[in-house]
Chains A and B, each alone.
Chain A
Amino acid sequence: MKNLRLKAARAGKDMSQDDLAKICGVSRQTINAIEKGDYNPTIKLCITICKALGRTLDELFWEDENIEDVSVVG
């Protein structure tokens, strides 16, 4: 599943994938893979990304609660 919130947060900070990758000490392709949902980062990298973008883990990586709520109600 694509991580559009990460992409939006990065764009909000006016950062390219390369900029964020350099701050986090990973390759640009790794950031790209996370945004595309092709790679699940470790908690360590998640925290580094959150710190770089000034967001919390919940904001960037927690799954959408609404979707869970719908499944529970349904």
Chain B
Amino acid sequence: MKTNKEKRTVIISIIAVALTLVVGIIGFALAEVGIIPEELRYKAGVVAGVLFGVALFFVVVALSRKRGNGCANEFDERQNITKGIAARKGFGTMVALLFVLILSELLEIPIPIEKPVLYILVFLLGALVVVCYNIWNDAYFALNENKTFIISLLVIMTAINGVVGFMHLIGGSLVVDGVLTSDSLNLIVSVFMLVILAVIAAKHLRERQGDDEE
């Protein structure tokens, strides 16, 4: 049985997703009628998409918890320390990459990647370092987290992004005029998630080989 607090979190998260969807539909209708100016439609779409993503994230987090273990993710003291170290490494990675980007700007060295993609790439690489470090040091999954659910979700996300990315690849929109476009993001995210899954698998294999348990 889920606790009342857990049930409340799930219900609030689902309401948030539903509200975001309703706002999105109203926005779409307003755009169709012509109330929202043409030049704002793209921006409104991006904002609605981000809001939907955030709301969905909370639903996933609420659902990923094992039953009867409270609402907050529970990490033990070693895991919390490890997570701190991982965050430091991720931050360091992002700063180093941003420094390289700034340097390339100053030296006017062209990078054949669209600016938004470049910055998202920096963010993703930093996040990848954090996630991989945490997985390898057993601090990624909380004590009350449903591992199977998270891994299944990762597999599904990898597959969806992979298929969309592959369609962009076939459509030829990945590289335009020698520059990597934002259409490449799905494929990049898919590759990143594959790396995460590979690290989870490697860690699992290591544990099964008995390196960890003495």
Selected contact of A27 from candidates B79, B213, B214, CB within 8 Å? B79
How many whole Å from A27's CB to the nearest CB in chain B? 6
What total of chain B residues lie within 8 Å of the partner, measured CB to CB?
A: 10
Complex CA distance for A41 and B80, rounded to whole angstroms:
12
Judge if B76 is at the interface, Cβ distance under 8 Å. Answer: yes
A36 CB–B CB distance under 8 Å: yes
Interface residues on A, range: 10 to 19
Q: Are the C-beta atoms of B214 and A25 separated by less than 8 Å?
A: no
Pick from A7, A30, A45: contact of B214, CB under 8 Å: A7
Of the candidates A35, A39, A44, which one forms a contact with B78 in the assembled complex, judged by CB atoms under 8 Å apart? A39
Residues of B within 8 Å of A25, CB to CB, are: 74, 76, 143
Chain A interface SS verdict (over half): helix
Query: Residues on B close to A: CB < 8 A?
Result: 74, 76-79, 138, 143, 212-214
29 contacts between A and B (CB under 8 A): A7-B214, A17-B213, A25-B74, A25-B76, A25-B143, A26-B76, A26-B77, A26-B78, A26-B143, A27-B76, A27-B79, A27-B143, A28-B213, A29-B78, A30-B76, A30-B77, A30-B78, A30-B79, A30-B138, A32-B212, A32-B213, A32-B214, A33-B78, A36-B214, A39-B78, A41-B78, A42-B77, A45-B76, A45-B77
